[in-house]
Structure formats: structure tokens, C-alpha cells
């Protein structure tokens, strides 16, 4: 295999600018030292300014997935956990293992809408609701402000919204957190900021969550702390990349539809689509292109495709077209 095109993990395809790399390198000079409180406080202040909230509402950690895991471990022993299906798989696996009881609300076909009444009916007892918004792997926004208000008004219900892709969706509930102690938002610098390799996530947390998390110091690695701080000081590169990805996303969607695939609207940096090509993910992998096979969560033919650079997307489309031609006559027919 002479090439490897990774379009399966929703990473930003563009490398960070040189000044961010140099910031991480500065952190390497202090590898023998723990990050100090002043440096972490500067990062917290920048995150709060970026999110438009108070710095007291920010909790920093080594990746939003680990913060979500801590949420489950902290609250799921005494509460029912309510999630949608499909959802971000690592969080679902943790909930399945540690929750006192786990209830999943299936997103409704064909548009993957979240049914309101079945969700609200589950909140008659102490509950922890975890929603990824936009949803992964569908790319769809499943909750709006009205839905969030309805959930938060239920007695003894906690709500955690995973906003990992909010820079692409443009929707956030950050302004609601101060007024709702039972709301928390999980975010990351992995996606839009293109810093998956430094693993910095954060929570915008209401008072109930702040009380539950001890005020322990988050010992982020020195390179991660330095790079994250610099990225938040100069976020213009990130917004430029977001616009690039959104433009490429729409081009990819159009080209896939022209090739007969069913493409679902996305508010993220990836596309969910359904193909008539048998074993598409395997066919692509044999040619050095990796996408996420979503058939286990959604059914035969579903795949999730990360939007790459223009040349990467062009290569994907060329390969997809070639596979479609080679497998003609063996297509899967859906009801």
C-alpha cells in the first residue's frame, strides 16, 4: 500500500501554523516541571473569553472525551443515564459499563430527528442526560434552545451537551449555563483548532457540576498548555480553516450524491452517507483510504467521511467512482 488517506477520525487536515508549533516546542523546554498555576489560569481566562463566559465556569482537562467519562463516573452511579442512539461511541461505552441504568433514545429516520416526548418521559426520576450536538456520527443538530430548556426544567435532571463541533455548527448553549446550575457543555481543541495531538478539552459548567468536581489542579503537559494558550490568543487561523472545510464539505456532498449516494445534512467537519457499494469501507481500505464504517450503529451501507484537503477529497471521489464502476451489478438495494 503506497498511500494512506485517513478520513475516519474527524481530524482537521491542516497542520497548525508555525507559531503554534514553536509554542509547543517552548513547552518541551520545561518537561521536567509541572505546569504552574499562573500558566493554567491564563489558559482558563482565554477559554472563558473565547466562550463568552466567566472563568469560574471553566474546567480544563486532557481531552473532552475524558471529561465526559468523568461526568459519567461522577453521576451515573446514582442516576439513570439517558443518551441518544447513535452517539459518540466512547461515551456510550463508558455509560454502558458504569451507569446504574442506561436508556437510549433512537434518532428517528429518515432525518435523524430526536423525538421530544420519549426523551422527556424518561426524566421522571433523577437522570443524567448526555447529548452530542451536533450528533456524531450523523452530523445533525438534535437539540435547540427550546429542547434544552425543557430538559433543564425537569426536576433533578442534569444535562451535559457535547459541543465538540460547535465551531462548524454555530450553535452553542454557553449563555444558558450561568442561569442553569444543572447544565454543562463539553468542548475540545481537537477539531476546529486542529490540535488533536495535544489533547486539551474543557467544560463550561453550571454550579452543580462545579461543586462535584474537586478544585484539583489540571496538570496539562507543558507543550499542550503552551500550544493551547497560543491558539486561543490567535484564533483567526482556526476560523479560516473552518470556512475551508465547510466549503469542501458541500462540494463532497454534491459529488457523492451525483454518484448515487444518500448524503445527510451535516453541521460538522464530516459527512454521513449511505452507499449502494457492497463493503465500501473495506474496498476503500484496500486502496489506502480510511473512512468510518457506521453500519454497526446505523445499518448496511452507512459510512462517515471526514472532510479533508481539496486534493484529498478529490482522491476520495476518484477512488469511490472507480470502486462503483468495478462493483457495478452488485449494488445493495435499499427499501
Span 188-209, average pLDDT: 97
Residue-wise pLDDT tens digits, 34-68:
988 899 999 999 999 999 999 999 999 999 999 99
| CATH value at residue 315 | 3.90.1150.10
Angle between helix axes 64-75 and 89-98 (nearest 10 degrees) is 20
The predicted structure's pLDDT at residue 329:
78
Which has the closest alpha carbon to 235: 50, 25, 10? 50
The predicted model scores a pTM of 0.95
Answer yes or no: do 188 and 268 share one domain: no
Residue 29 has pLDDT above 50, yes or no: yes
Answer yes or no: do 196 and 244 share one domain: no
Q: In this structure, are residues 270 and 135 in contact, taking their beta carbons and an 8 Å threshold?
A: no
Span 134-139, average pLDDT: 98
Q: How many C-beta atoms lie closer than 10 Å to residue 179's C-beta?
A: 9
| CATH value at residue 121 | 3.40.640.10
- As for how many domains the chain has, the answer is 2
Residue 334 forms part of a structural domain: no
Domain boundary among 218, 234, 250: 234
Answer yes or no: do 214 and 271 share one domain: no
Task: Residue 100: give the domain boundaries.
Answer: 18-234
Span 307-325, average pLDDT: 97
Residue 2 has pLDDT above 60, yes or no: no
Answer yes or no: do 193 and 71 share one domain: yes
Distance, in Å, from the CA atom of 96 to the CA atom of 298, rounded to the nearest integer, reads 18
Residue 222 forms part of a structural domain: yes
The predicted structure's pLDDT at residue 209:
95
The predicted structure's pLDDT at residue 215:
64
The predicted structure's pLDDT at residue 217:
59
The predicted structure's pLDDT at residue 333:
79
Answer yes or no: do 153 and 261 share one domain: no
Distance, in Å, from the CA atom of 36 to the CA atom of 258, rounded to the nearest integer, reads 54
Average predicted confidence (pLDDT) for the chain: 95
Among 90-94, 144-148, 205-209, 271-275, the minimum mean pLDDT is found in 90-94
Which has the closest alpha carbon to 219: 56, 33, 22? 33
Answer yes or no: do 91 and 215 share one domain: yes
Span 239-256, average pLDDT: 98
Amino acid at each position: 500500500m503506497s498511500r494512506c488517506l485517513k478520513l475516519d477520525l474527524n481530524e482537521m487536515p491542516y497542520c497548525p501554523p508555525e507559531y503554534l508549533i514553536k509554542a509547543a516546542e517552548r513547552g518541551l523546554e520545561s518537561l521536567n516541571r509541572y505546569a504552574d498555576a499562573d500558566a493554567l489560569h491564563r489558559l482558563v481566562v482565554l477559554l472563558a473569553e473565547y466562550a463568552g463566559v466567566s472563568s469560574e465556569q471553566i474546567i480544563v482537562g486532557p481531552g473532552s472525551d475524558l471529561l465526559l467519562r468523568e461526568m459519567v463516573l461522577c453521576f451515573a452511579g446514582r442516576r439513570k443515564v439517558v443518551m441518544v442512539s447513535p452517539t459518540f461511541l466512547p461515551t456510550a461505552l463508558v455509560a454502558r459499563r458504569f451507569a446504574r441504568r442506561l436508556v437510549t433514545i433512537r434518532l428517528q429516520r429518515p432525518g435523524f430527528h430526536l423525538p421530544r416526548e420519549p426523551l422527556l418521559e424518561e426524566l421522571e426520576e433523577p437522570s443524567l442526560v448526555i447529548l452530542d450536538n451536533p450528533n456524531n456520527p450523523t452530523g445533525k443538530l438534535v437539540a435547540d434552545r427550546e429542547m434544552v430548556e425543557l430538559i433543564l426544567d425537569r426536576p433533578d435532571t442534569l444535562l451535559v451537551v457535547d459541543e465538540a463541533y460547535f465551531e462548524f455548527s454555530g450553535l452553542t448553549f454557553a449563555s444558558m449555563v450561568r442561569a442553569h446550575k444543572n447544565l454543562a457543555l463539553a468542548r475540545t481543541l481537537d477539531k476546529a483548532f486542529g490540535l488533536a495531538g495535544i489533547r486539551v478539552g474543557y467544560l463550561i459548567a453550571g454550579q452543580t457540576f462545579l461543586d462535584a468536581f474537586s478544585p484539583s489542579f489540571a496538570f496539562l503537559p507543558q507543550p499542550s498548555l503552551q500550544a493551547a494558550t497560543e491558539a486561543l490568543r490567535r484564533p483567526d487561523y482556526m476560523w479560516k480553516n473552518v470556512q475551508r472545510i465547510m466549503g469542501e464539505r458541500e462540494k463532497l456532498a454534491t459529488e457523492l450524491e451525483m454518484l448515487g449516494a444518500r448524503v445527510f445534512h451535516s453541521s460538522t467537519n464530516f459527512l454521513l452517507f449511505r452507499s449502494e457499494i457492497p463493503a465500501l469501507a473495506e474496498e476503500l481500505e484496500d486502496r489506502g483510504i480510511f473512512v468510518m464504517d457506521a453500519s454497526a450503529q446505523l445499518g448496511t451501507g452507512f459510512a462517515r467521511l471526514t472532510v479533508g484537503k481539496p486534493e484529498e477529497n478529490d482522491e476520495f471521489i476518484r477512488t469511490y467512482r472507480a470502486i462503483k464502476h468495478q462493483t457495478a451489478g452488485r449494488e445493495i438495494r435499499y427499501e
